[in-house]
Amino acid sequence: MDIITIGNDSIYGDKMPALENACAVLSQHISDIRNEMSSQLGMDPVEHYLTRIKGEESMREKCVRKGLPVTQESALCVIKDAIGVRIVCAFVDDVFTIRDRLKASGRYEVIEEKDYINHAKPNGYRSYHMILKLPEGFFAEIQLRTISMDTWAALEHHLKYKKEISADSELIVNELKRCADELASTDLSMQTIRDMILEQ
Amino acid sequence: MKILLAEDTVDLNRALTAVLQHEKYDVDTVLDGQQAADHLDVDSYDCIILDIMMPKKDGITVLKELRQKNIITPVLMLTAKAEVEDRVTGLDSGADDYLTKPFAIKELLARVRALTRRKTNYGTDELKYNDLSLKSDSFELGCENTVRLSTKEFELMQTLMINQGRLLGTDYLLEHVWANDDNSRPETVWLYISYLKRKLKAIASSVEITGSSSEGFMLK
């Protein structure tokens, strides 16, 4: 039913069904990891996760922004987030466990990893980013983070597109950084409490 | 740096005022306890020097009254040699230090410096240990990353940083960080130590907390 996008207009061209299929397979794999961990931990490690194929407009815009020709080749081989997955966990340790499981499965080639959790961006942004090459040949960008990291990113994203903020922007940037550091601290406290409960 | 000097012996008062002013302190000088109390009602100081034996109102009474009003300014008491009881009462009533007459001017200046330094160090400074920094104005613990600590986490971290190289037992920490409040237990200390251990790791610091509940904890 999603295959209607095939046509002359699609930047993904005739690869769209294969792309959607690869996305579904990846999604199923994450779901399997989630179920396995649920039975081991006795609690679901994943709060929610989203998969998406980058929209036509957004992908064309990105090609232009990067100075690339607007072609299927650019969209699928040069740009590496045609498939995007965001996995949001309740606890910070689960982020790393899921990362380890994905890598250990041997299904994917890890193209790039960025650990913005242990190495937060100067503005306070925290998240774990990975670019994987899927067995089907497509690339996928995986973002792993906790609920509080996700909440923070949502507000920061919202702010970025509010151009009119200027006078107080420094104050807001500093305050957002403070919130990120407080949330990170709370994440670690919650993790410590969970460890203490699980030990008993 | 503003000092209130209350001393009823005119010659000594005059000499001390001159020396303190020479050291660039801003000095308000009074000759009895009542005047000292009046000044404290309208002005604030960085250090207060109080003689104990003064007309109208003695130094101990002035001290007790100012502490009751939550004035936390450091107080240096001046006492005569015989007044052991007064020195004890003075310290117990909230004095930070005392000096027995006769004293060397040099020592008085050193004590004033120590008392005023303590205030600035506790209020605004940043503590450092290896690659670690702890800011007391924002409770920010930082190395490569930064996190914000809660009040008790901050106080525990501060205690560990001030006592580097010394193992601090659970009882010591309960007494100094939690002031033995009714809800704190040895498990509380262990949990807060666990919080800090994780947070040290999360900011990518090389500093660790070593030890155990039974032998005590220290930074390494």
Assess whether A107 and A184 both reside in one domain.
no
Residues A54 and A22 in one domain: yes
Residues of chain A with C-beta less than 8 angstroms from the C-beta of B150: 185, 189
Answer whether residue A187 shows pLDDT above 70.
yes
- 């040069």: which residue's tokens? A78
Bridge partners, residue A128, by sequence = A115, A144
Tell me what pLDDT residue A168 has. Answer: 66
**Domain shared by A123 and A76, yes or no:** yes
Give just the sign of the alpha carbon dihedral A188, A189, A190, A192. positive
Determine the average pLDDT of the residues in A11-18.
Answer: 92
pLDDT tens digits, A87-100: 999 999 999 999 99
For residue range B45-102, what is the model confidence (pLDDT) as tens digits? 889 999 988 989 988 899 999 888 877 889 999 988 667 887 888 889 899 999 888 8
Distance CA A121, CA A137 (A): 31
The verdict on a CB contact (< 8 Å) between A119 and B145 is: yes
Report the pLDDT averaged over residues A187-196: 94
Pure H helices in chain B: 10-22, 33-42, 59-68, 84-92, 105-124, 151-162, 170-176, 186-202
Q: What is the pLDDT of residue A160?
A: 75
- Chain A residues touching B199 at Cβ < 8 A: 185, 188
Residues A119 and A187 occupy one common structural domain: no
Q: How far does chain B reach from its first CA to its final CA, in angstroms?
A: 38
DSSP state of A75: I
In a shared domain, residues A162 and A118: no
3-state SS, residue B140: strand
**A3: pLDDT confidence band, cut at 50, 70 and 90?**
very low
Answer yes or no: do A16 and A91 share one domain: yes
B126-219 to CATH, choices 1.10.10.10, 1.20.272.10, 2.30.42.10, 1.10.287.3510: 1.10.10.10
Are residue A25 and residue A65 in the same domain, yes or no?
yes
Residues A123 and A166 in one domain: no
The CATH number given to whatever domain includes residue A46 is: 3.30.460.10
Question: What DSSP string runs through B154-181?
Answer: HHHHHHHHHTTTS-B-HHHHHHHTSTT-
Of A147, A162, A179, the residue at which a domain comes to its end is A147
Measured between beta carbons, the chain A residues lying within 8 angstroms of B149 are: 185
Domain residues of chain B, as ranges?
A: 2-124, 126-219
Q: How far is CA A49 from CA A27, A145, A147, A151, A154, in A?
A: 9, 10, 11, 14, 15
Q: What is the pLDDT of residues B100-128, one digit of tens each?
A: 888 888 999 999 998 887 654 444 578 88
Same domain, A138 and A169: no
Whether the CB of B138 is below 8 Å from some CB of chain A: the reply is yes
The answer to whether B146 faces chain A, any CB pair under 8 Å, is: yes
Residue A55, CB-side half-sphere exposure with 13 Å CA sphere: 3
Alpha carbons A33 and A39: distance in angstroms, whole number: 10
Task: Find, in chain B, the residue whose alpha carbon is nearest to that of A126.
Answer: B145
For β-strands B2-6 and A139-146, DSSP reports them as: unpaired
Length of chain A measured in residues: 200
Would you place residue A162 in the very low, low, confident or very high pLDDT band (cuts 50, 70, 90)?
confident
The conformation of residue A94, written as its DSSP 8-state character, comes to H
- The pair phi, psi for residue A49, each rounded to 5°, is -145, 155
* Across A64-68, B59-63, B82-86, B141-145, least confident range: B82-86
Q: Tell me the C-alpha distance between B6 and B49, whole Å.
A: 6
Give the structural domain span for A181: 152-199
What is the radius of gyration, based on Cα positions, of chain B?
22
Calculate the average pLDDT of chain B.
88
Both tokens assigned to A25: 């397979």
Residues B54/B56/B61/B63 CA torsion (nearest 10 deg): -60
Residue whose tokens read 């995007």: A84
Which of A119, A188, A196 has its CB closest to that of B199?
A: A188
Number of domains composing chain A: 2
What is the pTM (predicted TM-score) of this model? 0.70
Task: Provide the CA B54 distance to its chain's centre, in angstroms.
Answer: 26
Q: What residues of B are in contact with residue A182 (Cβ under 8 Å)?
A: 147-148
| Gap between the Cα atoms of B40 and B35, Å rounded | 9
Q: How far apart are CA A95 and CA A103, in angstroms?
A: 13
Nearest to A102 by CA among A141, A146, A136: A141
Same-domain check for residues A124 and A62: yes
What's the number of CA atoms in the CB half-sphere (13 Å) around residue B57? 17
What's the pLDDT score for residue A8?
54
Residue A165, pLDDT score: 60
Q: Stretch A146-173: mean pLDDT, rounded?
A: 81
Give per-residue pLDDT as tens, B19-58. 999 999 999 999 999 999 999 888 888 899 999 889 899 8
Residues A52, A141 within the same domain: yes
Average pLDDT of the segment spanning B171-192:
88
- A19 and A63 both lie in a single domain: yes
Pairs across A and B, CB distance < 8 A: 44
A44-54 pLDDT, tens digit per residue, is 999 999 999 99
Q: What is the CATH architecture assignment of B2-124?
A: 3-Layer(aba) Sandwich (3.40)
How many C-beta neighbours within 10 Å does residue B106 have?
9
Helix (H, G, I), strand (E, B) or coil at B203: coil
Whether B185 contacts chain A with CB within 8 A: no
> In A3-71, where does DSSP find H-type helix?
16-41, 56-65
Q: What is the ipTM of this complex?
A: 0.73
Token digits for B174? 């309960």
What was the pLDDT predicted at A1? 39
Confidence band (pLDDT; 50, 70, 90) for A5? very low
Nearest Cα neighbor of B51 from B96, B115, B7 is B7
CB B142 within 8 A of CB A177: no
pLDDT score of A105 more than 90: yes
